[in-house]
Amino acid sequence: MYDVIVAGGGFSGVAAACSAAREGLSVLLIEKHGFLGGAACGCYVNPFMRYHLTLNGENIMISDGLFRNILTRLDEKNAMMKNRRGFNEELLKLVFDEMTEEYGITVLFHSYIISSRVENSFVKSVTVANKLGCTDFEAHYFIDATGDADLSVLSGCNYRLGREADNLCQPMTLCFRIAGVDYDKLTPEVWKNANNLYSKYRDEGKIKNPREDILHFPHVAEGVIHLNSTRIIKKNPVDTFDVSEAERMARKQEYELYSFLKENVPGFENSVLLASAPEIGVRESRMIEGEYTLTENDLKNCTKFDDAIAAGNYDIDIHNPEGSGTSHYFFKDNEYYTIPFRCLQPKGIKNLLTSGRCISSTHEAQASYRIMPICCTLGEAAGTAIGVCAAQNVPCSEADVGLIRQKLISYGAFLGQNN
Ligand SMILES: Cc1cc2nc3c(=O)[nH]c(=O)nc-3n(C[C@H](O)[C@H](O)[C@H](O)COP(=O)(O)OP(=O)(O)OC[C@H]3O[C@@H](n4cnc5c(N)ncnc54)[C@H](O)[C@@H]3O)c2cc1C
């Protein structure tokens, strides 16, 4: 019997596990891959999106606490790029191994959570499938950090999928890398011409990818370029047949874009298609129905909730779920919204919290807080909250939110200007 079981080892799951252990709890972290890091390592998602805010003329970290600690550890391994955004995900895996080891967390890899036993609104155990067969693990509390809300849904919680009107989710993207690129030739002018030609080819039907332009980032390795530019639309990210098709479609788009760049763009003449991520990236899927649903208006009004456990200011960044185009609502440098604790509480289950991209919100709100730095702060909030509940021996529905906030602030979290 563990104090807490954390389902999923992405940014939010690792932060949840470490923060629960910091409160003195025994933690089992269950992950289907053979490494931690979630989308960052399994889908090659890179770089970190915005995690700063300008307040009273001062530049501060809006995603602080454990996220700062992770950045420090990456720095110690020379794993951060100079722009403070790009990072080496191979070393992130190692950082997460070290952190979970230091916090005394039991990590179970290659294990898929396939069911949950619920009694009287409490999750009692989860069933995990792996090479040993199916095994049940019990705990007093549970955190769902699976991104897709698997544990919550297996426990009978209600959820939303994608847009309210038609359940379409943001597109899935297979990130990939091209090596042997001559960076010196890649001037802004070259990229501008490349994008113009790409548009022309799309209009002529020579490029099938619905994405409007070429989304690319520098990589930690010299001569390697990171592309976040495939776009799979109108597929359900939690229907495995759809995802299987999406993986194959995305690889075709990957080859299409690589061939286009190699044939037409200076700098790519001697390039090599290096690798695609182990699995296609899911921006959005299920979001649980929680005690509060975060909305686009909450974000645009920069709402400051009394029970805020995290804050954000990344743009509302919506990749068109049904075709071309990406819409953005940008926050000003000094603007931010907060996220209430109630978004972590699924309705109907008393000892379960969610964290990361599957908390309770609308499609539009999720388009902002889904980024890795904010998911990390949501995980830290969930783990700390379980620590507070366990110490008082109460269900999450009776959590002392004041004390949770106090603890988070003491660990460095930014929860609003008037903390
Ligand atoms: C293509 C793409 C581009 C993006 N671009 C950026 C970007 O540039 N910058 C940025 O900051 N963010 C970006 N994001 C968003 C960000 O990467 C994710 O939203 C964020 O990493 C989610 O973190 P998480 O911990 O909630 O979930 P995840 O990172 O998805 O972690 C969930 C973990 O749970 C595991 N899991 C799932 N189900 C089970 C199960 N049943 N049993 C056991 N384990 C399970 C998974 O293997 C995974 O490790 C992007 C996302 C995508 C897909």
pLDDT at residue 390 is higher than 60: yes
- Work out the percent of the chain whose per-residue pLDDT is above 90: 98
Give residue 59's pLDDT.
93
C-beta of 375 in contact with ligand 1 (< 6 A)? yes
From CA 35, how far away is CA 9, in angstroms rounded? Answer: 8
Residues 365, 270: one domain?
no
Residues 199, 230: one domain?
yes
Domain with residue 176: its CATH number is 3.30.70
Q: Within a domain: residue 146?
A: yes
Q: How many angstroms does the Cα of residue 333 sit away from the middle of ligand 1?
A: 26
Domain with residue 67: its CATH number is 3.50.50.60
**Beta strand ranges found along 90-157 (DSSP E):** 106-108, 112-119, 122-130, 133-144
Q: Within a domain: residue 227?
A: yes
CA proximity to 386, closest of 376, 403, 375, 399:
399
Q: Within a domain: residue 72?
A: yes
Helix (H) or strand (E) holding 364, with range, is helix 363-369
Residues 59, 94: one domain?
yes
**Which atom from ligand 1 is nearest to the alpha carbon of 146?**
34
Domain end: 282, 299, 318, which one?
A: 282
Q: Which amino acid belongs to residue 226? A: H
pLDDT at residue 367 is higher than 70: yes
pLDDT at residue 403 is higher than 70: yes
C-beta of 39 in contact with ligand 1 (< 6 A)? yes
Residues 227, 367: one domain?
no
Residues 159, 182: one domain?
no
∠379-377-155 over CA atoms, to 5°?
A: 25
Number of domains the chain contains: 2
From CA 201, how far away is CA 183, in angstroms rounded? Answer: 24
Residues 106, 249: one domain?
no
Q: How many angstroms does the Cα of residue 147 sit away from the middle of ligand 1?
A: 6
Q: Within a domain: residue 196?
A: yes
Q: Tens of pLDDT along 80-104?
A: 998 899 999 999 999 999 999 999 9
Q: Tens of pLDDT along 138-153?
A: 999 999 999 999 999 9
Do the bridges between strand 172-173 and strand 159-161 make them parallel or antiparallel, or are there none, so unpaired? unpaired
Give residue 418's pLDDT.
65
CA proximity to 49, closest of 30, 63, 69:
63
Residues 108, 218: one domain?
no
C-beta of 147 in contact with ligand 1 (< 6 A)? yes
DSSP 8-state code for residue 282: E
C-beta of 171 in contact with ligand 1 (< 6 A)? no
Q: Within a domain: residue 347?
A: yes
Residues 198, 334: one domain?
no
C-beta of 362 in contact with ligand 1 (< 6 A)? no
**Which atom from ligand 1 is nearest to the alpha carbon of 112?**
42
C-beta of 42 in contact with ligand 1 (< 6 A)? yes
| Local confidence band at 289 (pLDDT 50, 70, 90 cut-offs) | very high
pLDDT at residue 325 is higher than 80: yes
| Local confidence band at 291 (pLDDT 50, 70, 90 cut-offs) | very high
C-beta of 346 in contact with ligand 1 (< 6 A)? no
If one counts every other C-beta atom within 10 angstroms of the C-beta of residue 106, the result is 15
Q: Whose CA is nearest to atom 20 of ligand 1?
A: 372
Q: Tens of pLDDT along 44-78?
A: 999 999 999 999 889 999 999 999 999 999 999 99
Give residue 417's pLDDT.
80
Q: How many angstroms does the Cα of residue 59 sit away from the middle of ligand 1?
A: 27
Contacts of 398 (CB under 8 A, 6+ apart): 389, 392
C-beta of 162 in contact with ligand 1 (< 6 A)? no
Q: Whose CA is nearest to atom 34 of ligand 1?
A: 8
Contacts of 216 (CB under 8 A, 6+ apart): 191, 225, 226, 227, 228, 229
Averaged pLDDT, 300-304: 97
Q: How many angstroms does the Cα of residue 182 sit away from the middle of ligand 1?
A: 31
Residues 288, 397: one domain?
yes
Which residue carries 């995990």 as its tokens?
A: 128
Candidates 45, 61, 81: which one to mutate for ligand 1, based on the most atoms within 8 Å of Cβ? 45
Q: How many angstroms does the Cα of residue 45 sit away from the middle of ligand 1?
A: 8
Q: Within a domain: residue 35?
A: yes
Domain end: 249, 266, 282, which one?
A: 282
**Which atom from ligand 1 is nearest to the alpha carbon of 373?**
11
Residues 135, 264: one domain?
no
pLDDT at residue 419 is higher than 80: no
C-beta of 109 in contact with ligand 1 (< 6 A)? no
Domain end: 282, 301, 322, which one?
A: 282
Average pLDDT over all residues of the chain: 97
Q: How many angstroms does the Cα of residue 38 sit away from the middle of ligand 1?
A: 5
Averaged pLDDT, 26-47: 98
C-beta of 8 in contact with ligand 1 (< 6 A)? yes
Cis, bond preceding 346 (omega within 30 deg of 0)? no
Q: Within a domain: residue 376?
A: yes
Residues 234, 317: one domain?
no
Q: How many angstroms does the Cα of residue 283 sit away from the middle of ligand 1?
A: 7
Do the bridges between strand 286-288 and strand 159-161 make them parallel or antiparallel, or are there none, so unpaired? antiparallel
Q: Which residues pair with 282 in a beta bridge?
A: 172
Q: Tens of pLDDT along 172-226?
A: 999 999 999 999 999 999 999 999 999 999 999 999 999 999 999 999 999 999 9
C-beta of 45 in contact with ligand 1 (< 6 A)? yes
HSE of 72 in the Cβ direction (CA atoms, 13 Å)? Answer: 7
**Which atom from ligand 1 is nearest to the alpha carbon of 30?**
43
Averaged pLDDT, 343-368: 98
Give the range of the structural domain holding residue 188, as residue numbers without chain letter: 172-282
Q: Within a domain: residue 314?
A: yes
Residues 265, 298: one domain?
no
